[in-house]
Each structure stands twice: as C-alpha cells, then as structure tokens.
Amino acid sequence: MSTKETTYKGTNKMIIGIVFGVITFWLFAQAMVNIVPAVREGLGVNLGTLNIAISLTSLFSGLFIVVAGGLADRIGRKKITYLGLILSVIGSLLLVLAQGAILLIVGRVLQGISAACIMPATIALMKAYFEGEERQRALSYWSIGSWGGSGVTSFAGGAIATYLGWKWIFIFSIIFALLSMLLLREVPESKAETSGEFKFDYGGLIIFIITMVAINIVITQGAAFGWTSLLTIVLAVIAIIGVIVFVRYERGVETTPLIDFKLFKNKPYTGATISNFLLNAVAGTLIVANTYVQVGRGFTAFQSGMLSIGYLVAVLSLIRVGEKIMQRVGARNPMIWGTIATLIGVAIMGLTFLPGLIYTIVVFIGFILFGLGLGMYATPSTDTAVAGAPDSKVGEASGIYKMASSLGNAFGIAISATVYSAVVAFSSVDVAATAGIITNVVFAVLSLISIMALVPKDVGESES
C-alpha cells in the first residue's frame, strides 16, 4: 500500500461521497428521458429541441470520458472528480433557472461533461485507495450507484416530477453533488507517477470527436434520415474512415496518446471491456419489449413499466452477491453465469406466440433474469477492468471501459429499434418483436464468447 492508503482512514465516507457523485448522472441527469411532457409544458420548447437536449448529455459524456480519465491520471483523480461535481452543480442550476431552450441545452452539455469527469476518476480513486476484497466491495457500491441509479431513475424522476415539479429533480442533484464534495473533502489527492513532459493529444481529440459525432448521428438519426440516404452514407463513411485514421494516428503518438491501445494487450481488460460493450447492447431489449407489450398486447405505459420492476429489484439485489461469488471463485464464473442468465431472460421475452397471461408472466420472469444477470456481472466485470489496468493508466482505462457501456447501449437500442421497425413494415408486431429480441440474444451470445475466450479463470479471486 502507498502512504496515502495507509494514512487515510475515512474510506466509508469516501465510498458514500463517490456514490453520491455517481448518481448525479445515473439517477438525476438520466431522469430527463422520463419527464419529456412535463419539460415541454414547463419550458414551451418543441419535441425536436428537447430530444436534442436529452441526447447531448450522453453524447458529451461519450466524447470526453476517455479524455477526462487520462487527465485524471495526470492532473489528479480527486481534482477531476471535483471538476465534474462543480460542472454538475452548474449544469443542474442552469436547468432549474431555464425558461427556454438556451439554458436547457447548455445545462445538458455541462451535465454530460460532468459525467465524463466523475465516472473514470471515481473508479480510479477506488483502485488507488482499496485493494483486494475491499476494492471489490467499494466497486460494488459504485455499481449500485450506476446500475442501480439507472434502474431507479424512471420511478424516482417520475415521482419527483409528479409531486414536486420536474425542476426539483435537479435541485436534488445539486444537493447530492454538494454532499459528495463535502464527503470527499479530506480524501488525499491521487495521481499517476509519470515522468517526462505532458503533451496533450489535441490531434487525437479532434479526430475522436469528429468520429464519435458521426457515429452518434448515424445511430440516433439514421432512421429519420433514411438508412440508404446520401447523408447517412456519408456520415457512415466518415465514421469508418475516422476510426481507421484515429487508430493509426494514436499508435504513432509516442508520449501521451489520447487512448493507449497497449491497454488491450491485457486479455482480462479486453475481455471485460468487449463483454461490457456487448452486454450493454442488450439494453435494446427494453425498447423492443416495452414497445411490443404496448402496441401488440394493449398495455399502458404504466403497466409496461411495472412489468420491469423485477429487473430493478434483481439488479440491486445481485450486485453485492456478484462481488461475494467473485471472491470465492474468481471473476470469470459470475461474469459467465450473469451473461447466461441475461441471455435466457432476454430469449424467453421473444416467445411472442404465447397467449396473454402466460406471456405476461414469462416477460416478468424474463426481466427478473435480465436483472439478475446484469447484477451478477457488474462488479466482477468492473473489477477485472480496473485490476487489469496499470496504476499509471487506471483513469484512462476506466474511461474506455465506461465509454464501452455508453456506446454499447446506444448501438443496442438503435439496432434493435431498426430491426423491429424494418420487420413490422412487412410482418406482424409479434414477428417484429421476436426479431428485435433475437438481435439482443446475439449480443448476449457474443458477450459470453468474449468472456470465455479472454478472461482467465483465476482473475478476481480473493487477494487477502
């Protein structure tokens, strides 16, 4: 252990402070997707502007999360966490004060950059101040803040908006950000031990931003533009060329590349990151299943939301269980078991030929298995990614890992929705739902293969 680790005793306060910081994005900022009618009425903005404002948070988070992770290693993980919390307070305050589109959009951009700072920096702090089982326990609470927060957000955001008004969501976000700063105040700074002059990779950042913006537009607007339209094709070509140019450019940067591709020489890290991308892509199941039960089975939005309540309970219940299983048998097995549970849960939702009540029960069970699987997978996967990264690169490695989550989620939802829409154009909603869900089964199978191929059996076993 380092001197900082042996002298700092307020680790429980630190964990609570980090969880409070994480939920400013996963619980509060993400609630915007569930309060669209209230925001439209309150601000008088059109739906197109509001959809742009909602998507900007995820876009800017994805654009800058790797950058922020690398800066956290160099400048200081606590400093970047504090920067993220300050930006969260400012962004939330702008939303509280908003009377129209301008403050709404600026506030959402700041919330995205805030999340990009907080997520990798806080994971890096966990790695710096905890080892072995204590690190795994700390990462479990981090996962509860992120996975659990995202599960609770629709219920919490809806309740706050209904009884207090939608702006109170962001007042609570400010309160939790300030509490996080207070709880983290005494945490000593942590940064990588590096030598040589730090030169920021501006060229890599510019290529990365252009590429990511092109990918994001294709994913989110491809259906609206038309998948075979000239604009979509041009953007897709820019994205493909951008990826190739970015990889080649980064490999030629000798000192401080934006993304160090040497990280992927570590097989456990690569396995955790790829499987994380693919298992997050399975989130496409949510949009297909919820759309189908409403369109094809006549459920209300509230009823379809209640169908997935078991998912939320299961995710929260299994996160700590996944940690304990990992300490006994290593990370590989709970990652595999969690992925299999998710795969089965998703697959049975595709049994659309089943009659009314039976199908409803099957979907309810499917959501529970989905949540059980993700809950079991979360901590072992995160710990494998963190443990497999060198101390000098843990912030950057965490940024790439979390970027995989965001991109996987975006890809999964876009692809699943596209498959559903394409099939429903020439067949029934039942067949379309089955096709959309099979797409997600494929993602889960590929995730399982990546774990089995890349994650060794002894990774994540108790180090005590």
Chain centroid offset of residue 148 CA:
11
**pLDDT category, 391, cuts 50, 70, 90?**
confident
Residue 72: pLDDT over 50: yes
Q: What angle do CA 444, 454, 314 make, to 5 degrees?
A: 40
Instruction: Identify which of 119, 106, 136, 10 has the alpha carbon closest to the alpha carbon of residue 62.
Output: 119
**pLDDT of 113:** 94
397 vs 407 pLDDT, higher one:
397
Region 176-191: mean pLDDT is 93
What share of residues in the chain are helix, strand, coil (percent, to 5)?
80, 0, 20
Q: 370 CB contacts (<8 Å, ≥6 apart)?
A: 282, 285, 311, 314, 341, 342, 345, 346
**pLDDT of 279:** 92
**pLDDT category, 176, cuts 50, 70, 90?**
very high
Domains in the chain, CATH or no CATH each: 3-183 (1.20.1250.20), 201-255 (no CATH), 263-454 (1.20.1250.20)
**pLDDT category, 59, cuts 50, 70, 90?**
confident
**pLDDT category, 194, cuts 50, 70, 90?**
low
Residue 208: pLDDT over 90: no
**pLDDT of 10:** 65
Residue 31: pLDDT over 60: yes
**The model scores a pTM over 0.85:** no
User: pLDDT (tens digit, 9 = 90+) per residue, 286-321?
Assistant: 778 877 887 888 877 667 767 778 888 888 888 888
Residue 405: pLDDT over 90: no
**pLDDT of 1:** 39
Q: Is 313 exposed, middle or buried (0-12, 13-18, 19+ CB in 10 A)?
A: middle
Q: What is the mean pLDDT of the chain?
A: 85
377 vs 2 pLDDT, higher one:
377
Secondary structure letter of residue 258 according to DSSP: S
Q: Which amino acid is at 294?
A: Q
Region 328-350: mean pLDDT is 93
Region 114-122: mean pLDDT is 93
Task: Collect contacts of 209-213 with beta carbons under 8 A, ≥24 apart.
Answer: 209/63, 210/238, 210/242, 211/238, 211/239, 211/242, 211/243, 211/245, 211/246, 212/59, 212/62, 212/63, 213/59, 213/63
**pLDDT category, 3, cuts 50, 70, 90?**
very low
Give dist(CA 137, CA 183) in Å, integer: 19
Residue 451: pLDDT over 70: yes
**pLDDT of 216:** 73
Region 188-213: mean pLDDT is 79
Intra-chain end-to-end CA distance of the chain, in Å: 13
Residue 196: pLDDT over 70: no
Instruction: Identify which of 389, 366, 380 has the alpha carbon closest to the alpha carbon of residue 335.
Output: 380
Residue 255: pLDDT over 90: no
Region 54-72: mean pLDDT is 83
**pLDDT of 426:** 87
309 vs 332 pLDDT, higher one:
332
User: pLDDT (tens digit, 9 = 90+) per residue, 408-438?
Assistant: 877 787 788 778 888 888 888 899 999 999 9
